[in-house]
Amino acid sequence: MNPLELIPLALSRLAASKMRAVLTMLGVIIGVGSIVALVSVAQGATSGITNLIEGLGTNLISVSPGANNNGFVRGAAGSADTLTLADAEAITGVDGVDQVAPQVSTIAVVVAGDRNTTTTVSGITPAFQPVRAYEIWRGAFITEPSYRAGLRVAVIGSATAEALKLDESAVGADILVGGVPFRVIGVLQPKGILDDQVFIPLSTMRDHFVAGDAVQSISVSAADPATIPLTKVAISNLLRARHGIADGAEADFTVIDQAQLLSAFGTITGFLSLLLAGIASISLVVGGIGIMNIMLVSVRERTREIGIRKAIGARNRDILLQFLVEALVLSLAGGVIGIAFGVAASAGVGAIAGWGLNLSAQTILLAVAFSLVVGVVFGVWPARQAAKLDPIEALRYQ
């Protein structure tokens, strides 16, 4: 007998009790649906984060001050005042370094007309725009002359502009930053990350908000992505020498690049995907038990049918296959419906989160394979029970 002949038989059998078939499939639908949805949401989140990190500027190396180590209490990374403007200037001379952008930030209230918002105000140099890959939407970025002169000019992020209800006419508007009057000279394109910021010249920052020589971070763009590891070592060696740190002692700064950041996020999201898929698999197992349960009931209900089939010549193997195919059709149909639900759910989440639909062929194949495995694993035992029935007793069964 050709096992494919059993598929229409199984389909008509399931069609005869549709409600039962649907309820039985529900477990697999939920299981497969949540695997597809969760895995693709995790993949979407990963690619969203990757895009954001890449949007921070390609070839970016970040130098941050070390932690404030005050006796027994270790402060947050970047809390110490160990990096200076002079360090930034020194890094400019390192091989493989293209541009260097030191940054000093503070939190301040920004007022425009009758609107106000509290946001990060960063003092930067003109090199900041190319290094961090910001693009101007309206107006211009801070120029070398205005940096030198310490002018009270500001470039505002897209989110800040929105919060202050500043539109196309924002350029030229007068705002108050921490009570000090500034003129808006530019508005930035949105990047999806770090859009709520106000940038002013670093010199102006020193004059009005943060005195001293310390900087909170130094962004460095590498001339060649291939030499980033070497450039990092060179920067590190330079700063250790400047700070007088002995060989083997812990540095008072950290140097990281995009690849490190990406791989750190990759580790986190990979673990997250695995965790979510693991949780979803549990519901798939529960769905499989549902199939086994119904198949066992079905074998009992159809004992007489099994007896008749055996009496007219069905071999044990034919009966086994018949019930196995039924379980497989159930789990596979559940899997397909589950994939449809999962795709719909991940499309919905992707639309809301703005990273679109992230669906790989592997996810779909994995889901189909899982539902097949569930069908076989949980269908084989009831099918064996059916195949083992004694034809005489099965025929007598009422």
Q: Cβ 305 to another protein, closest distance in Å?
A: 6
CB-wise, 380 or 395, nearer to another protein? 395
CB-wise, 308 or 377, nearer to another protein? 308
CB-wise, 4 or 76, nearer to another protein? 4
Q: List contacts with another protein (CB under 8 A).
A: 1-2, 5, 16, 304-305, 307-318, 391-392, 395
Q: Cβ 296 to another protein, closest distance in Å?
A: 20
Q: Cβ 307 to another protein, closest distance in Å?
A: 8
| Residue 198 φ/ψ, nearest 5 degrees | -125, 130
CB neighbours of residue 137 within 10 Å: 16
Q: Cβ 331 to another protein, closest distance in Å?
A: 23
Amino acid, single-letter form, for residue 33: G
Nearest one of 95, 128, 289 to 218, comparing CA atoms:
128
The rounded distance, in Å, linking the Cα atoms of 107 and 178 is 9
Q: Cβ 368 to another protein, closest distance in Å?
A: 28
CB-wise, 29 or 320, nearer to another protein? 320
CB-wise, 4 or 107, nearer to another protein? 4
Helix, strand or coil, per DSSP, at residue 321 = helix
| Residue 17 φ/ψ, nearest 5 degrees | -135, 75
Contact 18, 260 (CB under 8 A): no
Contact 200, 152 (CB under 8 A): yes
Q: Cβ 5 to another protein, closest distance in Å?
A: 6
Amino acid, single-letter form, for residue 240: R
* CA atoms within 13 A of residue 149's CA, in its CB half-sphere: 8
CB neighbours of residue 116 within 10 Å: 14
Helix, strand or coil, per DSSP, at residue 120 = strand
CB-wise, 11 or 308, nearer to another protein? 308
The rounded distance, in Å, linking the Cα atoms of 113 and 166 is 10
Q: Cβ 13 to another protein, closest distance in Å?
A: 9
CB-wise, 3 or 270, nearer to another protein? 3
